[in-house]
């Protein structure tokens, strides 16, 4: 019967099938958003009003955690001894319950390669300033939060972007861009799952005058980020004012717009996906173990032209308390 599908249903032509295949990346992103929204909406019906989050906690979830990977990556990333992501956050606020919060973050990402002399090549420097505003004043309601960010991303190099043969100079080429990001974060507590949930959507824009000239046409200057996180709290915890999650799960999906390497407007190459599972052993206080799968353009400064698929393991800081 499968062999007769094309004869019985004449509209399943190669051109039509090609169009359907092209739409898959967009459908996947929308599916992620729909699932996250429905899960959050379902949980609202069983919301426990005794649980609420202060703005610094919401900001910490959005800013991310510091981590270091083990030399056990599985995929097409160059062999590394480790990748380290250092994200110190400095909060500027009037009080713990303020609805307005500023965050200064001098983020740095470094990779040590498994080569002679253990080189650390072209670290990513990403200093940023983020402002958060909590829309809802009632602390017992599910919160809607706005945030705006201005950031710089460079690799600290000053030599030519391209080599004489036209290839990108990943060893010492100058990479630099500045961008703005504006987004919305929705939070919710589910009593059924005893978990805090976060859904974020944001737009990131790199004005062309703020980018290195060589990035024009090969680097996406307009990006749509979507993220869904869930933090499962201990089921039988000792009564206390705050507690850490036992496990957490975070799914990120980013769509790259703009003229990039003559990609089609809808292409798998434009989609970056990341899934992180985190486990916090009870015998550790401030760190835990994580596993991540990432597929998409490399986020490591001038290496952005490389498409990577990697499964990695490591340890991650855990300073969140709910």
The closest alpha carbon to 271, from 20, 26, 6, belongs to 26
Q: What is the pLDDT of residues 8-67, one digit of tens each?
A: 334 334 444 444 344 455 545 555 555 554 444 444 444 444 456 788 889 999 999 999
Torsion of CA 148, 271, 156, 152, to 10 degrees: -10
The pLDDT value recorded for residue 62 is: 93
For residue 194, give the nearest of 32, 39, 320, 46 by alpha carbon. Answer: 46
- What pLDDT score was predicted for residue 107? 97
Distance of alpha carbon 221 from the chain centroid = 17
Distance CA 56, CA 58 (A): 5
Whole-number pLDDT of residue 189? 86
Contact 144, 184 (CB under 8 A): yes
The answer to whether the CB of 141 falls within 8 A of the CB of 123 is: no
| Mean pLDDT for the chain overall | 83
CA distance 33 to 106: 30
What's the pLDDT tens digit per position in 112-144? 999 988 999 899 999 999 999 998 766 555 689
Sign of the dihedral through C-alpha 253, 51, 57, 147: positive
Give CA–CA dist 290/19, Å, rounded: 38
Domain 14-317 has CATH 2.40.230.10: yes
pLDDT at 5: 36
Check residue 28 and give its pLDDT. 57
What pLDDT, on a 0 to 100 scale, did the predictor assign at position 281?
86
Least confident window among 30-39, 180-189, 227-236, 296-305: 30-39
Q: Which residues contact 20 (CB under 8 A, 6 or more apart)?
A: none
pLDDT for residue 238 is more than 90: no
Decide: helix, strand or coil at residue 236. Answer: coil
Give the three-state DSSP class for 219.
coil
pLDDT of residue 241: 53
Residues of the chain with pLDDT > 90, as a percent, come to: 61
Q: Six-digit token pair at 271? A: 């989609």
Please give the DSSP secondary-structure letter assigned to residue 120: B
What is the domain partition of the chain in residue ranges? 14-317
pLDDT of the residue at 127: 97
Q: What is the value of pTM for the model shown?
A: 0.82
């Amino acid at each position: 019967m499968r062999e007769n599908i094309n004869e019985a249903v004449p509209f399943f032509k190669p051109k039509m099938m090609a169009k359907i295949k092209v739409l898959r990346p967009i459908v996947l992103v929308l599916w992620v958003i729909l699932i996250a929204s429905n899960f959050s909406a379902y949980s609202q019906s069983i919301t426990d009003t005794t649980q609420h989050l202060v703005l610094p906690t919401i900001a910490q979830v959005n800013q991310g955690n510091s981590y270091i990977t083990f030399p056990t990556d599985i995929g097409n990333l160059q062999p590394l001894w480790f990748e380290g992501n250092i994200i110190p956050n400095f909060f500027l606020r009037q009080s713990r319950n303020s609805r307005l919060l500023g965050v200064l973050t001098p983020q740095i990402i470094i990779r040590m390669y498994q080569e002679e002399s253990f080189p650390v090549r072209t670290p990513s420097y990403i200093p940023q300033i983020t402002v958060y505003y909590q829309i809802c004043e009632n602390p017992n309601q599910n919160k809607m939060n706005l945030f705006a960010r201005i950031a710089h991303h460079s690799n600290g190099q000053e030599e030519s972007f391209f080599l004489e043969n036209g290839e990108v100079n990943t060893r010492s080429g100058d990479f630099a861009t500045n961008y703005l990001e504006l987004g919305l974060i929705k939070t919710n507590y589910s009593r059924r799952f005893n978990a805090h949930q976060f859904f974020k959507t944001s737009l990131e824009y790199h004005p062309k005058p703020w980018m290195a000239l060589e990035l024009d046409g090969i680097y996406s200057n307009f990006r749509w980020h979507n993220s869904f996180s869930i933090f499962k709290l201990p089921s039988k915890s000792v009564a206390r004012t705050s507690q850490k999650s036992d496990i957490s799960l975070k799914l990120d999906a980013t769509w790259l717009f703009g003229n990039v390497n003559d990609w089609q407007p809808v292409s798998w190459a434009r989609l970056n996906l990341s899934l992180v599972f985190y486990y916090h052993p009870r015998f550790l206080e401030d760190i835990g173990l994580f596993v991540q799968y990432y597929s998409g353009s490399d986020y490591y400064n001038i290496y952005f032209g490389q498409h990577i698929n990697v499964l990695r393991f490591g340890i991650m800081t855990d300073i969140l308390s709910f």
